[in-house]
Amino acid sequence: MKIPSSVLSLANVAAEDSTRYAVAGVQICKSGGDCVARVTDGRRLVELRVPLHGEGEDPDWEAVVPADLMRIAQSWKASMVNIFLKDKQIRLLQWI
């Protein structure tokens, strides 16, 4: 799934407590024709909903992406990032 790089900036809101993976990452899910990203630092919750174009046929899914991984992807300065989930592994690839 291609996600806009603006979703990556949500990693800056995530808690830095690495012992609680759910607050040290960003929940990204594909729901219908939208990409929904949610993040919390334990006090505040931010949700971003972005329409996906041309990917509405794929099945819905969700994953918690580690904030550190999203911060690395932010450094790529790409306008879009591909996210792949397979066998409980998350891969982010730069979209050029």
Domain count, the chain: 1
Q: What is the pLDDT of residue 15?
A: 83
Which residues constitute the domain of residue 38? 2-95
The pLDDT tens digits of the residues spanning 30-64 come to: 888 888 999 998 889 999 998 887 765 678 888 88
Q: What is the pLDDT of residue 55?
A: 61
CATH value at residue 72: 3.10.150.10
Query: 21 near 64, Cβ under 8 Å?
Result: yes
* Cβ-count burial 23-46 (b if 16+ within 10 Å, e if not): bbbbbbebeeebbbbbbbeeeeee
Starting at the edge strand that comes first in sequence, how are the strands of the sheet with 2-4 ordered?
2-4, 80-86, 89-95
Between residues 87 and 74, the one the model is more confident about: 74
pLDDT (mean) for 71-92: 84
The pTM score is 0.81
The pLDDT tens digits of the residues spanning 2-39 come to: 888 888 899 999 888 767 766 888 999 988 888 899 99
